[in-house]
């Protein structure tokens, strides 16, 4: 166990029949781990026992031989431990999760050298703050998950977890930005086969252009829950990060906000760790509702708000997902226009609306409007004509 990265000392299998026994040669005053070395078929049929430890194909056994040859299970005696998992059963394939101190220096590197599971103690000190995140990406990173007791469950290779060790009780208390357990994120799939490659990301509302802080998916089944680690006095958005298959089966709930594959949630954590939905309280209710038909944001397309001298005073875009909301920075007694200022990729996916000004606008829409001193809106479409539509049956154009 002192050299977990080395190759197997010996390997064992049951060549036929329902049971068998082999003698494992060991050294006194030495500790060992035992886990799956080669994956075959029908792993669910496999079970074994050594040193009073019973296991299956996914179990990793830890045991020690004392100075007189007696065997006993090795228990990781640590206040903070990481449980490591690999969905394929061949370890983490060069992927490394590291523990960083508050100056972003690596304190400890953690990996799973083989098998489906493993345990490692984290070297932390009372009164210090740390983060845990991927430091080196190897192969098949999507197979990697891990949990840290009392801090995070079912984190993946894209997760970044920050925490502080608050006191010297046994075990010590931990805080994640003052919010020990984070926010529960419940995931559901109506078909029961997981999210089929769809995932949601957590993003900073203060820096919406930044990459996802963490991502979440339901790998299988009809429901699951993860703890989203958040910071107090901070606001977030959550929306689809990766579009997979069968998105209509996806639903979720966080912070009493329910959504689907095309929903964007906005929420804030207050100074004592409570979560509440963030409502865009816009001046004179002038809110841009942004939509993307593909679900990957506006891909560099920008709609700008111009003043009456045709100077751009605000840029509006959708950084990701199917939908988003943004307030317009307007004042009474002023006139404005909205139009495409920068064309990126796939402008045909873009639609947007401003209540009281325009509905179902697209990348080529240009609209002008004025706010009088009482907040009343008058609208002009400099490049538009009015199309009046009728249906004799009264059920639309079908």
Confidence at residue 251, expressed as pLDDT on a 0 to 100 scale: 98
Stretch 15-20: mean pLDDT:
94
Confidence at residue 31, expressed as pLDDT on a 0 to 100 scale: 95
HSE toward the beta carbon, residue 163, CA cutoff 13 A: 27
> In this predicted model, what pLDDT tens digit does every residue of 298-348 receive, in sequence order?
999 999 999 999 999 999 999 999 999 999 999 999 999 999 999 999 999
pLDDT at 204 over 80: yes
Stretch 231-255: mean pLDDT:
94
> In this predicted model, what pLDDT tens digit does every residue of 127-178 receive, in sequence order?
888 889 999 999 999 899 998 886 777 788 877 788 888 766 655 666 654 4
Mean pLDDT for the chain overall? 89
Confidence at residue 180, expressed as pLDDT on a 0 to 100 scale: 41
Nearest to 313 by CA among 299, 298, 327, 301: 327
Separation between Cα atoms, residue 218 and residue 197, nearest integer Å? 9
pLDDT at 91 over 60: yes
Confidence at residue 191, expressed as pLDDT on a 0 to 100 scale: 96
Question: Which range has the worst mean pLDDT, 162-176, 180-194, 218-232?
Answer: 162-176
- The pair of three-digit structure tokens given for residue 231, joined into one six-digit string: 């910071």
> In this predicted model, what pLDDT tens digit does every residue of 32-88 receive, in sequence order?
999 998 889 999 999 999 999 999 999 999 999 999 999 999 999 888 899 999 999
H or E element, residue 316: strand 312-316
Confidence at residue 179, expressed as pLDDT on a 0 to 100 scale: 41
Give per-residue burial for 232-264: e unless 16+ CB within 10 Å, then b.
Answer: bebebbbbbbbeeebbebbbbebbebebebbbb
Residues in the chain: 398
Separation between Cα atoms, residue 151 and residue 144, nearest integer Å? 18
Question: Which range has the worst mean pLDDT, 12-16, 179-183, 274-278?
Answer: 179-183
Stretch 271-294: mean pLDDT:
90
Confidence at residue 176, expressed as pLDDT on a 0 to 100 scale: 55
DSSP state of 158: T
> In this predicted model, what pLDDT tens digit does every residue of 106-116 receive, in sequence order?
999 999 999 99
Confidence tier at 396 by pLDDT (50, 70, 90)? confident
Separation between Cα atoms, residue 150 and residue 224, nearest integer Å? 18
Most confident among 95-99, 101-105, 211-215, 392-396 (mean pLDDT): 95-99
Confidence at residue 337, expressed as pLDDT on a 0 to 100 scale: 95
Cis peptide before 171 (omega within 30 of 0): yes
The neighbouring-strand residues paired with 71 are 65
Confidence at residue 387, expressed as pLDDT on a 0 to 100 scale: 66
Question: Domains in the chain, start-ordered, CATH in brackets?
Answer: 1-75 (no CATH), 81-175 (no CATH), 183-277 (2.60.40), 283-380 (2.60.40)
User: The whole model's pTM is what?
Assistant: 0.56
């Amino acid at each position: 166990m002192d050299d977990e990265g080395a190759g197997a000392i010996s390997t064992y299998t049951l060549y036929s029949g329902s049971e068998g026994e082999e003698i494992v040669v060991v050294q006194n005053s030495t500790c060992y781990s035992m886990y799956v070395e080669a994956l075959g078929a029908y792993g669910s049929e496999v079970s074994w026992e050594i040193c009073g430890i019973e296991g299956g194909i996914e179990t990793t056994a830890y045991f020690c031989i004392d100075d007189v040859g007696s065997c006993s299970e090795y228990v990781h005696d640590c206040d903070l431990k990481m449980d490591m998992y690999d969905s394929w059963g061949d370890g983490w394939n060069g992927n490394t999760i590291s523990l960083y101190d508050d100056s972003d220096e690596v304190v400890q590197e953690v990996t799973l050298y083989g098998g489906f599971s493993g345990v490692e103690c984290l070297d932390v000190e009372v009164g210090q703050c740390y983060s845990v995140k991927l430091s080196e990406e190897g192969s098949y990173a999507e197979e990697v998950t891990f949990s840290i007791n009392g801090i995070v469950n079912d984190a993946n290779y894209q997760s970044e977890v920050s925490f502080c060790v608050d006191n010297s009780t046994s075990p010590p208390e931990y805080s994640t930005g003052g919010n020990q357990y984070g926010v529960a994120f419940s995931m559901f799939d109506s078909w029961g086969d997981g999210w089929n490659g769809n995932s949601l990301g957590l993003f900073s509302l203060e820096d919406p252009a930044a990459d996802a802080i963490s991502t979440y998916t339901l790998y299988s089944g009809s429901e699951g829950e993860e703890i989203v680690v958040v910071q107090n006095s901070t606001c977030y958005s959550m929306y689809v990060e990766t579009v997979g298959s069968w998105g209509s089966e996806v639903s979720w709930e966080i912070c009493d906000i329910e959504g689907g594959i095309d929903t964007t949630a906005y929420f804030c954590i207050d100074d004592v760790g409570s979560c509440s939905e963030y409502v865009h309280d816009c001046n004179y209710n002038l809110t841009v509702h942004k939509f993307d038909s593909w679900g990957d944001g506006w891909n560099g397309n920008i709609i700008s708000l111009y003043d009456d001298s045709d100077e751009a005073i605000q840029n509006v875009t959708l950084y990701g997902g199917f939908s988003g909301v943004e307030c317009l920075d307007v004042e009474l007694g002023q006139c404005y226009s909205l139009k495409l200022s920068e064309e990126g990729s796939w402008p045909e996916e873009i639609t947007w609306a401003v209540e009281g000004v325009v509905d179902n606008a697209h990348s080529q829409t240009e609209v002008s409007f004025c706010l009088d001193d009482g907040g009343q809106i008058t609208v002009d479409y400099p490049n538009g004509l009015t199309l009046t539509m009728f249906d004799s049956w009264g059920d639309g154009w079908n």
